[in-house]
Structure 1
Amino acid sequence: MIKRHIRGNTALAAVMAAGICAVAANAEGAAKTEGVETVTVTGQSINLDVKGHTPLLETPQNIQILSADLLASQNVTRLDEALRNVAGVMGGGYYQSYDYFRIRGFDASGFIYLDGMRLDSYVDVNAEISGLEQIQVVKGPASALYGQGALGGLVNFVSKRPTRDAFLNVSAAYGSFDSYELSLDGNRPITGDVAARLVATWRQAGSFADHSSGDNRIYVAPSVTWDIDADTSVTLLSSYQHDKFNMVMPLTALGTITPSKYGTYSLKTYTGNLGDDNHSWVNRTQLGYQASHRFNDVFTLNHRLRYTVNDQRWNKILYTSSLVDTGSTLALSQYPYDYDSFGTMITTDTSLSADFTTGPLRHQVMIGTDYAITHSHSHSGQIDYADPNSYVVIDLFHPTYHKPMPVYKSFASAHESLNTLGTYVQDHITYGDFTLTASLRWDDAHSISGGADKTDVAYTPRLGLTYAVMPDAVLFASYSESFLPQSGTLFSGEPLKPETGRQWETGVKASLLDGHIDLSASLYYLTRNNVATSDPTHPFSSIQSGKQRSRGFEFDSRFNIVENWQAIFTYAYTDAVVIEDNTYPVGDQLSNVPKNSIGLWSRYAFDGALNGLSVNGGVYYYSSMAGDLPNTFRLPSYTLANAGIAYDYGDATLQLSFKNLFNERYFSGSYNDVYVQPGATRSIEARLSYRL
């Protein structure tokens, strides 16, 4: 079943790392070159969107920032493609139409934020990249400021918003699998104090799978900024996204990764039914604002709010129950699933920051509170799982479609709500070449799900230290904790306690040659506690004796040494394993986590007689990964190669992009041996853009 990341009272996720705030559209000090912007911004205090005003270089945590210009140069349209630019982050999952990723070995897919506030969890996010100014990747726990969330880290999206420049960018694209797109990004100052911006995209993204119509999207995001005076600003942000897609379901390990006695079947095999079945649509509407007011040289107030409405429908999605050897072929036994839900969410955050000195110490203090309230209603069709006639069987080697669908025996309804309240405080202290960041947060999370009423209260700290070994290079070390409420009960009926996590991290950051070289290297050790595992004496209950560990090394680097050449190099070693469990063997690797991953991307713009011409290419290697827990099979290692060529002629740009250039056969992730997602085959896209 599609993983909706609701998990009862685990719906609330964590957002940004302590002590930074989101980079606004053109952050001061971000070096910008022709066609691409420096990916990592260091040494500057960042503006709004995330809590605090700590300079990024002084933040004792590994944080990477991906700009819109970089993603456009790479022709990125999906989040997993963007995350290849960051060490220690593994994109891809076991369904094609949703955003899945792991950070430092742990699943963080449900922990995506937009403009510093948590996105809803009632619809798996499938981000529209064209509406984003930046993607910020924060590694390690952020609960000290943002409450419950993933131990490995999180991703924050920064929306495009109005600027003081008038422009209009339009583009049209056509590519493999009959994919096409029209997009617009326009900005206009209305008065001296007010500016408006509109981002709109219409896309039909075809699929490499047979018989799949792919994903159809309409995205519209208008925004308005009013600079009331030199110290006060308000920005209205809104968006509407409609997705309609023919879901490409996972395949099986036997017959694809491991040859069966009947051989292997094509990765393009479609395992749904044809007709009106296996279709889904999602509508997401968001409306909110962000406001800031600077009282004086000491105090600044930031406030933000967003209201979200989600409406989704799945129509007879076929889920795999088992793999059947018929004696002549391999077949999938599948059952249909209908699901519709409607949910609303209100999130708000208010913080007061103060910048002052006490003797030789400079303090950047922040105190704030945030609140979120989420409600959802869902309705689903249920089959008689004991009745063999409730299943659809498809031959994987010779599939036939237009099969009659089983009749639902019953329908189930559910209501879930989650209210979370948090208060946080942080002091970032500077003394000479040293900084000390101390953060503490209190959380109260109240959830109602399936008749269960539960409240979790937690305190989460963080402590970090940096030392400037030279003006543009620091050593850092930090300790941080996370917590994440869980649904379910023990055999005694007592609710499960929240998962908890701890991280120790140390490393070095540098921004050299006036920001033309950015380097980050870090060592980390994470432990995840209170993991729910099977009760050995009560098979249908859980106990909380599970424990997992991840340790590793990451290196992120960005180069922009000369004006017309940029490069990114990343490397990560990730050792993520089970260290205590009643079900899984100790030492088993966590699934979908490569021990070694390497990324290299470069772009070169010609001058002289070839002025206007640029070329780029990327190579990404991932070592083999465990396909499930316990480790019954492995996903093979793979190397992806992408390439692109572009030509600027006046205000027009013609861009040709190649993804999976050498048509590598690979698998992006899995849930178990009958839920394995194949990677996309080679694709080509041509894009024509025009700037006014």
Structure 2
Amino acid sequence: MKFSPIFLAVSAVLSSTAAFANTAANPAEDPTDPVVEKITKNAAQSQSSEAKALKDIEVIQVKGSYFNGYKVDNANGAMRANISLLETAQSVTVIPATVINEQLATTLGEVLANDASLTAGSKQRNREVFNLRGFELSSSNGYLRDGHQHWSHYQQPIETLESIEVIKGPSSILYGQSGPGGLVNMVTKKPTTNSIFNLGVDVDQEGSSRLTLDAGGAITADESLRYRANLVKQDVIYQREYQNGEQRERERFLGALVVDYDISDDLLVSLHYDRTNDKAGLDTGAWLDDEGNIIGDDKTIRDMSWAFTDITVENYGVDANYILSDSWQVKFGYNEQTFERQRFESAPKKPSGFVEGDSYTSKPYDRYDDWQFTTTFIDFTGEFELAGVEHNLLVGANYLDYYYGQLKVKGDSFEYSAGQGEPPRPDISYTTDDSLYTSEYDYYGIYIQDLITINQEWQVMIGGRYDKQSKTGADNESLLPKAGVLYHPNDNTTFYGSYSEGFEPQSSETIHNDQDLNDGMEIDAMTSKQYEVGAKWQLLDDRLLLTTALFDITKSGVLVTEDYQGENENITTVTTQVGEQRHKGFEMAAQGAVTDKLFVMTSMMYLDAAYGKNQDGNKNYTGMTPVDAPEWSASIWSRYELTEDLAINAGAFYQGERFADGNNTIVKDAYTRIDIGATYKINVSNTDINLRFNVQNLFDTDYLAGGGTSNVTVGDGRSYRLAMQVAF
């Protein structure tokens, strides 16, 4: 076998502990873009027998604009298959690499701002939290990566992604336990047959920098062995600062490698590995007063400058695709994820009625967390005709093995107020903890889904899942249905209606409280139901996709604890499983080409979110709106091509008023953030050089993003970012 020199060089760097460069800002559509896309042997594993024919085509060149890539017609995550969005009976948004790169995005939150159905929660402790249709996405079951459930308790390495799919509504039928808002599926970059080698660097006005490498190509002469590698070194200096005057900083390193091998014409095997090291100072957010105003300076961090979090994440696994016949194929996937984190906290606590100048208590501790997340799936898919009706059938199973371990040592509490000298870091270490807290569970599910094409106008989708969780004191079984009807009055239009369910197991099988009237009562998983109707149109010669959706989601089975009013002196509370949360709303989105020179990605959402019968301690939230669930939200990002090599961008991101507390007494004001940018491409000695300049928050708008009264995220002021990418 003859190996590519570029591949050997990249592999050597990845194997070194000093690996640091990355993939980030490939300014055009992945994988090779700018002007030429090549369809080669790695198209071989597609959904139908037509894929085999493509294997005989060496190279097809498609000429097109360098700036294409806004519109995406398919989403793999929604149906666990490469099915058109027009044949998908639910709302799905796909954010492509073109938009990610134009925005010079460095975090998942910057990307997800392009879909108004997602709103940001708190960013404390160097991670991001999001709400989808008003429901918080759990880091354990709210995210997928290439269809695998992905532990997402850290800022995702988006430089490895070619697109992000936002799958809306309960999706438990295909993925198991998950929340009612939906899922975020991160689709990674794939190996290419044609050689690519892109270097990038971007900087901002604070002195932050990011170095990136994205390389790929065929390793062997027959192109049966291919690779894709991404390397990143990022140093971030934030606008907020500690009370001793030091600015918060962050260091991140990423190395990722994917290798595809065509073992035969019918069998593709893919191996992947990535490692992220991410260390940052802590910022648990700003504090708000009773009027919703920031207490003190909006740049002030209440944590001590010695507080930090240090994360190491590794993913490795294998995927395989085998074509059984012209109509059937089987897919297999395995991923092992290890997540280790040290978090040294100063843990400031906001006192009641706090004003600047008052003292507050910090309770420092050193903590080590170890998560291990193993996922496996196998899917059989087939296309066939039965009794004159066409079927696209999926039968599969997936499995998750979860482990968590924690060590923690506390230090002495201390009082602090603004203007004092910063106390020294306590001499404590989690390594001295002689106890280990652990939590483990596993679950598996078996699912079936059939997209039935009755005729050119009508399709029906039906499916179901059996799911079982094994956890000490919290075993759970669920049986879920899903159904949809699609009507296509013409080739470019779809009207649909769908019903889906989701579930989230409780922490135990029964109520454990001997002072509760219902002590020992068996409890079921929390469930969710969604009714959705919508429409999708391909407009302007199929260049623009317009979608609308009406949804009604109800989450039930939340435990509600109330004061006991009876005569039994040994009983103080009554806990029942009657809590409810109902979110209703309307969405509209469009993405693609409006003209030959104007491209847009825009969305809006109206949301009516409220608790039913819900109580937390002595607080009754019945009728209240959840935190960070705005009634109105909207976004737009656009590009206009002035010439073939020069384009300008403009974007606006709107969030309506949101509550900062569960009692709905503190309101965060609505805001609109305006961003602009420009890209210029030049060619020097047959080397493409792309220059980009972006301005975020052009008008220096003051605003509060996600988070509550003691952990709110303060929006950054005006910032500038300059980038250069070189494609060899």
Match of 1:308 among 337, 350, 356: 337
* Aligned pairs for 1:471-510 within 5 A: 471-488=491-508, 490=511, 491=513, 492-494=519-521, 496-510=523-537
> Match of 2:156, as an amino acid?
A
1:379 alignment partner in structure 2: 407
Q: What's the CA shift for 1:155? A: 0.1
| Cα distance per residue 1:45-72 (max 9 Å; x no partner) | x669962343321110000111112110
1:690 alignment partner in structure 2: 726
Q: What's the CA shift for 1:394? A: 3.3
Q: What's the CA shift for 1:323? A: 4.3
Q: Which runs of 5+ in 2 are unaligned?
A: 1-29, 47-61, 514-518, 565-570
Confirm or deny that 1:391 pairs with 2:413: yes
Assess, with a 3 A threshold, how the Cα gap between structure 1 residues 402 and 39 changes in structure 2: closer, same or farther: farther
1:220 alignment partner in structure 2: 255
| SS at structure 2 position matched to 1:120 | coil
Match of 2:389 among 357, 361, 364: 361
Structure whose alpha-carbon radius of gyration is higher: 2
1:37 alignment partner in structure 2: 69
- Check whether the contact 1:323–1:330 (CA below 8 A) recurs between aligned residues: no
* Aligned pairs for 1:570-649 within 5 A: 570-582=603-615, 583-607=619-643, 611-649=644-682
Confirm or deny that 1:87 pairs with 2:87: no
CA–CA distance in structure 1, aligned partners of residues 398 and 452 of structure 2: 24
Assess, with a 3 A threshold, how the Cα gap between structure 1 residues 404 and 353 changes in structure 2: closer, same or farther: closer
- Check whether the contact 1:525–1:551 (CA below 8 A) recurs between aligned residues: yes
1:19 alignment partner in structure 2: none
Confirm or deny that 1:659 pairs with 2:680: no
CA–CA distance in structure 2, aligned partners of residues 272 and 320 of structure 1: 10
1:194 alignment partner in structure 2: 225
2:181 alignment partner in structure 1: 152
2:561 alignment partner in structure 1: 534
| SS at structure 2 position matched to 1:677 | coil
Confirm or deny that 1:555 pairs with 2:576: no
- Check whether the contact 1:212–1:246 (CA below 8 A) recurs between aligned residues: no
Confirm or deny that 1:401 pairs with 2:434: no
1:112 alignment partner in structure 2: 143
- Check whether the contact 2:291–2:666 (CA below 8 A) recurs between aligned residues: no
CA–CA distance in structure 2, aligned partners of residues 495 and 349 of structure 1: 31
| Cα distance per residue 1:361-401 (max 9 Å; x no partner) | 10111111111112221111246xxxxxx4333335x4642
Assess, with a 3 A threshold, how the Cα gap between structure 1 residues 161 and 559 changes in structure 2: closer, same or farther: closer
Choose 408-417 or 84-93, whichever is displaced more. Answer: 408-417
| SS at structure 1 position matched to 2:296 | coil
Q: What's the CA shift for 1:473? A: 0.7
Confirm or deny that 1:281 pairs with 2:303: no
CA–CA distance in structure 1, aligned partners of residues 715 and 669 of structure 2: 12
| SS at structure 1 position matched to 2:301 | coil
* Aligned pairs for 1:670-681 within 5 A: 670-671=707-708, 673-681=709-717
- Check whether the contact 2:78–2:92 (CA below 8 A) recurs between aligned residues: no
| SS at structure 2 position matched to 1:667 | coil
1:426 alignment partner in structure 2: 449
CA–CA distance in structure 1, aligned partners of residues 291 and 540 of structure 2: 49
| SS at structure 2 position matched to 1:69 | helix
CA–CA distance in structure 1, aligned partners of residues 354 and 250 of structure 2: 32
Match of 1:290 among 319, 324, 330: 319
CA–CA distance in structure 2, aligned partners of residues 126 and 343 of structure 1: 15
- Check whether the contact 2:346–2:362 (CA below 8 A) recurs between aligned residues: no
Assess, with a 3 A threshold, how the Cα gap between structure 1 residues 47 and 297 changes in structure 2: closer, same or farther: farther
CA–CA distance in structure 1, aligned partners of residues 699 and 360 of structure 2: 30
CA–CA distance in structure 1, aligned partners of residues 334 and 123 of structure 2: 33
1:523 alignment partner in structure 2: 550
1:16 alignment partner in structure 2: none
- Check whether the contact 2:120–2:628 (CA below 8 A) recurs between aligned residues: no
Choose 347-356 or 47-56, whichever is displaced more. Answer: 47-56
- Check whether the contact 1:505–1:524 (CA below 8 A) recurs between aligned residues: yes
Q: What's the CA shift for 1:324? A: 5.6
RMSD of equivalent CA atoms: 2.6
Choose 493-502 or 223-232, whichever is displaced more. Answer: 493-502
CA–CA distance in structure 2, aligned partners of residues 430 and 24 of structure 1: 33
Confirm or deny that 1:454 pairs with 2:474: yes
Q: What's the CA shift for 1:255? A: 8.3
Q: What's the CA shift for 1:678? A: 1.2
Choose 476-485 or 78-87, whichever is displaced more. Answer: 78-87
Match of 1:126 among 135, 155, 179: 155
More strand by share: 1
1:233 alignment partner in structure 2: 268
CA–CA distance in structure 2, aligned partners of residues 465 and 39 of structure 1: 24
2:578 alignment partner in structure 1: 545
2:483 alignment partner in structure 1: 463
1:68 alignment partner in structure 2: 97
Assess, with a 3 A threshold, how the Cα gap between structure 1 residues 333 and 512 changes in structure 2: closer, same or farther: same
Assess, with a 3 A threshold, how the Cα gap between structure 1 residues 394 and 514 changes in structure 2: closer, same or farther: farther
| SS at structure 1 position matched to 2:705 | strand
Q: TM-score, normalised by structure 1?
A: 0.88
Assess, with a 3 A threshold, how the Cα gap between structure 1 residues 125 and 407 changes in structure 2: closer, same or farther: closer
Assess, with a 3 A threshold, how the Cα gap between structure 1 residues 280 and 540 changes in structure 2: closer, same or farther: farther
Q: What's the CA shift for 1:333? A: 2.4
Q: What's the CA shift for 1:454? A: 2.0
1:318 alignment partner in structure 2: 347
Q: Which runs of 5+ in 1 are unaligned?
A: 1-22, 384-389
Match of 1:58 among 74, 79, 87: 87
Q: Aligned residue pairs: how many?
A: 643
1:247 alignment partner in structure 2: 282
2:437 alignment partner in structure 1: 414
CA–CA distance in structure 1, aligned partners of residues 572 and 605 of structure 2: 38
1:258 alignment partner in structure 2: 293
| SS at structure 1 position matched to 2:533 | strand
| SS at structure 2 position matched to 1:206 | strand
- Check whether the contact 1:426–1:437 (CA below 8 A) recurs between aligned residues: yes
Match of 2:597 among 557, 561, 564: 564
> Match of 1:413, as an amino acid?
L
Q: What's the CA shift for 1:209? A: 0.7
1:7 alignment partner in structure 2: none
Choose 86-95 or 154-163, whichever is displaced more. Answer: 86-95
- Check whether the contact 2:328–2:380 (CA below 8 A) recurs between aligned residues: yes
CA–CA distance in structure 2, aligned partners of residues 319 and 674 of structure 1: 10
- Check whether the contact 1:54–1:428 (CA below 8 A) recurs between aligned residues: no
1:440 alignment partner in structure 2: 464
1:208 alignment partner in structure 2: 239
Q: What's the CA shift for 1:315? A: 1.3
Q: What's the CA shift for 1:233? A: 0.9
| Cα distance per residue 1:167-197 (max 9 Å; x no partner) | 1110111113220010000012012211111
CA–CA distance in structure 2, aligned partners of residues 431 and 576 of structure 1: 37
- Check whether the contact 2:71–2:543 (CA below 8 A) recurs between aligned residues: no
Choose 61-70 or 203-212, whichever is displaced more. Answer: 203-212
1:102 alignment partner in structure 2: 131
Q: TM-score, normalised by structure 2?
A: 0.84
CA–CA distance in structure 2, aligned partners of residues 130 and 459 of structure 1: 38
CA–CA distance in structure 2, aligned partners of residues 406 and 674 of structure 1: 27
- Check whether the contact 2:174–2:447 (CA below 8 A) recurs between aligned residues: yes
Q: What's the CA shift for 1:606? A: 1.4
Assess, with a 3 A threshold, how the Cα gap between structure 1 residues 291 and 403 changes in structure 2: closer, same or farther: same
> Match of 2:365, as an amino acid?
Y
Choose 47-56 or 24-33, whichever is displaced more. Answer: 24-33
1:11 alignment partner in structure 2: none
> Match of 1:294, as an amino acid?
I
